[in-house]
Structure 1
Amino acid sequence: MVTTMISAKDLELVALRELRSVPGGEYIAHVEVDLIADDWRLNVTVRDGADVDRIQDAVKATTNRLKQRYVLRPDW
């Protein structure tokens, strides 16, 4: 599979769009890419009323999918 280089800010926008498309995603207020050594993860902020378990499952699935499609571009 071909991967595309992307900035962290652009990845946050892609992730937010994808996460808001899942049931319950309307409660997602903010997505942030958290850099961990040579890897990354998504941190999500949700509004009151969110089904946290459903959101966590969506974040895990979205993270795995995005890691297959994108490589973070180093921002110097």
Structure 2
Amino acid sequence: MGWDECLAELLVQLGDRGLVAIVKMDGERVRDRWTVLVSGKPLGGELVRWDGNDLDAGLSRVIVQLQERVPGLLE
């Protein structure tokens, strides 16, 4: 499965659990071109945000933070 299919599946899973997820690439930035942002009721009004240049690493970090904040979220 390619990263694009994995990303689509991840976004669907997050949405199914009441979360809002945004993946943005900003071509005007020299550094931290990618932003991943997740918010929603399961996070109690807080959000998870990551900015960087390696999208795979950022998605992994966001997933870890989500699992720490909402145990069982992505099982």
- TM category (shorter chain) comes to 0.3 to 0.5
- Per the normalisation by structure 1, the TM-score is 0.37
- Per the normalisation by structure 2, the TM-score is 0.37
